[in-house]
Amino acid sequence: MNMEIIARITEQFINYSYYYPLFMAYIWMIGAVYYYFHWEKGANPDNPPKLKEYPLVSVLVPCYNEEKHIGETVKYLLETNYPNFEIITINDGSSDNTLEILKELQKKDDRIRIINFQKNQGKAIGLNTAAMISKGEYLVCIDGDSILDPNAITWMMYHFLTGPRVGAVTGNPRIRNRSTLLGKIQIGEFSAIVGMIKRSQRIYGRVFTVSGVIAAFRKSAIHKIGYWSRDMVTDDIDISWRLELNHWNIRYEPNALCWMLVPETLKGLWKQRLRWAQGGAEVLKKYFSKIFDYKSRRMWGIYTEYFLSLIWAYSAILTLILWVAGHFVQLPERMQVPTLIPSVYGTFLGVTFLLQFGVSLFIDSKYEKGIGRYYYWIIWYPFAFWIINVFTTSVGFVKAVFEKKGKRAVWESPDRGIGD
């Protein structure tokens, strides 16, 4: 392969690094708007549907060092408007006072049950144990530092009762902590990126993953696929793919709100996004042999989206390297990157993302009053999160490829904002 061919291929990767974000932004906008008018418009989170029955729901709450938050989490769970539920808390070898707090809560309400592990076993082991002893056919899983909206369970149960092939329902995570720039930017991200993507994926195929912070499952469905995998960094992505590869549907319910804490330091954000990226790559590696299975054709949209994003990450890194190298050596004309953001492209990209964020905030304004005031902070998203996502995607893919198979994934205390 001569230098001219290499230069032409390199030029295509450079162009791809610029135009992929534009292409996907319009795909997500079109999908989200269609979803909104087809399924979402007119619904009100405070007015859940009337169900023909209210079967027992088991709420699973895995905990690891949650003494600061678990009391509030359980308090709000007990105030849910769903009439028939139990709470199973899982203390996974916490070294703080989480277990003592759970015992005090249990004394006050007999709907609370406790599973206690002396040593850290990992979230998957905890969820599997809780699922097996649960009394309900339907499981709602939330994090030990989150706050569930009183009507969320009813909204998710509607899908199970009206869709016999629905294996899971993913809810709508909302940001609680927003005192820093990173926190404020993530408000827009979960609306304009996460929310839009889930709406779009419901249109063109399957959902990439349920949200780990708020998801509901049909117990018979996860029993058939073998419950949660204990060796996956992101158990939520893995169980989503296994359900869908076994022809169960996953639905997105934007009215099922759950308020969560997010990282507000660059170190915490890096660790979180690296884990997400590695988890996605691990799942792809694990189920790669099923990519061309015609029976799983509804997964092809997810496969395509993932590969396109992976190529974009490496293309962006290549573009950055060539831009830096161009300051020191003379590169062939096709490989030259005089500026990282060309003026015309930069203007079009800026307008596109302002439009994308505007559309997403309009859709999400029904779930969070006054969310429009965070529109200004969203302009910083490409500068902070694109860079992090590019490198975490690249590094996470490499880590997944060389990760030792069968190694148990255990808890690590996450960054929950400056309050920690």
Residue 238 and residue 409 in contact, taking contact as beta carbons nearer than 8 Å: no
With H, G, I as helix, E, B as strand and everything else as coil, classify residue 333: helix
pLDDT at position 219 over 90: yes
| pLDDT band for position 416 (cuts 50, 70, 90) | low
Residue 379 confidence (pLDDT) above 80? no
Where is pLDDT greater, at 132 or 389? 132
- Looking at residue 341, what is its pLDDT? 75
Q: Residue 252, SS3?
A: strand
Where are the alpha helices (H) located in 231-378, listed in sequence order? 235-245, 266-286, 300-325, 343-364
Judged by average pLDDT, the poorest of 50-59, 148-157, 301-310, 400-409 is 400-409
Contact 329, 234 (CB under 8 A): no
Gap between the Cα atoms of 236 and 281, Å rounded = 13
**What is the Cβ-side half-sphere exposure of residue 412, based on CA atoms within 13 angstroms?**
10
DSSP-based three-state secondary structure for 262: coil
DSSP H/E element including 36: none
Residue 270 structure tokens: 């890096």
Distance CA 105, CA 113 (A): 10
| pLDDT score recorded for residue 125 | 93
Distance in angstroms (rounded) separating the CA atoms of residues 182 and 233: 24
Predicted confidence band of residue 171 (pLDDT cuts 50, 70, 90):
very high
Could you give the strand order of the β-sheet that contains 166-175, starting from the edge strand earlier in sequence? Answer: 112-117, 85-92, 57-63, 138-142, 214-218, 166-175, 249-260, 147-148
pLDDT at 217 (0 to 100) = 98
The beta strand positions in 111-260, using DSSP E, are 112-117, 138-142, 147-148, 166-175, 214-218, 249-260
Q: Is the pLDDT reported for residue 190 higher than 90?
A: no
Average of per-residue pLDDT values in the chain = 88
3, pLDDT greater than 80: no
Spatial distance between the Cα atoms of 224 and 226, rounded to a whole number of angstroms: 6
- Token pair belonging to 97: 């006072």
Cβ proximity of 262 and 175 under 8 Å: yes
Q: pLDDT tens digit string along 382-411? A: 666 778 888 899 999 888 888 776 666 665
Helix (H, G, I), strand (E, B), or coil: what is residue 92? strand
Residues 6+ apart with CB under 8 A from 295: 247
Query: How distant, in Å, are the alpha carbons of 19, 71, 315, 387 from that of 339?
Result: 15, 52, 15, 16
CA distances from 374 to 140, 195, 320 (A): 30, 16, 30
Q: Is the Cβ–Cβ distance between 341 and 149 less than 8 Å? A: no
pLDDT at 180: 79
pLDDT in tens, 351-362: 888 888 889 888
Which of 131-135, 202-206, 377-381 has the lowest average pLDDT? Answer: 377-381
The whole-number pLDDT of residue 32 equals 93
Secondary structure (3-state) at 58? strand
User: Cα(68)–Cα(96) distance, rounded to whole angstroms?
Assistant: 10
> What's the CA gap between 271 and 113, in Å, rounded?
32
C-alpha distances out from residue 202 to 196, 197, 337, 345, Å: 10, 9, 37, 30
Cβ neighbors of 135 (< 8 A, separation 6 or more) are 56, 58, 86
- State how far the Cα of 18 lies from the Cα of 324, in Å rounded to an integer: 17
Neighbours of 53 (CB within 10 A): 7
Alpha-carbon distance of 112 to 95, in angstroms, equals 21
End-to-end CA distance of the chain: 54
pTM: 0.90
Distance CA 144, CA 124 (A): 14
State the average pLDDT over residues 239-265.
93
| pLDDT at residue 308, as a whole number | 92
Task: With a cut of 70, say whether residue 274 has pLDDT above it.
Answer: yes
CB atoms closer than 10 angstroms to residue 266: 12
35 burial level (CB within 10 Å; 0-12, 13-18, 19+): buried
- Rounded Cα distance between 399 and 404, Å, is 9
pLDDT more than 90, % of the chain: 51
Quote the pLDDT of residue 204: 80
Q: How is residue 372 annotated by DSSP?
A: G
User: How does pLDDT run across 291-320, given as a tens digit for each residue?
Assistant: 888 888 888 988 899 999 999 999 989 999
Considering only 26-30, 257-261, 376-380, which range has the smallest mean pLDDT? 376-380
- Count of CA atoms in the C-beta half-sphere (13 A) of 52: 4
Which of 263 and 52 is assigned the larger pLDDT? Answer: 52
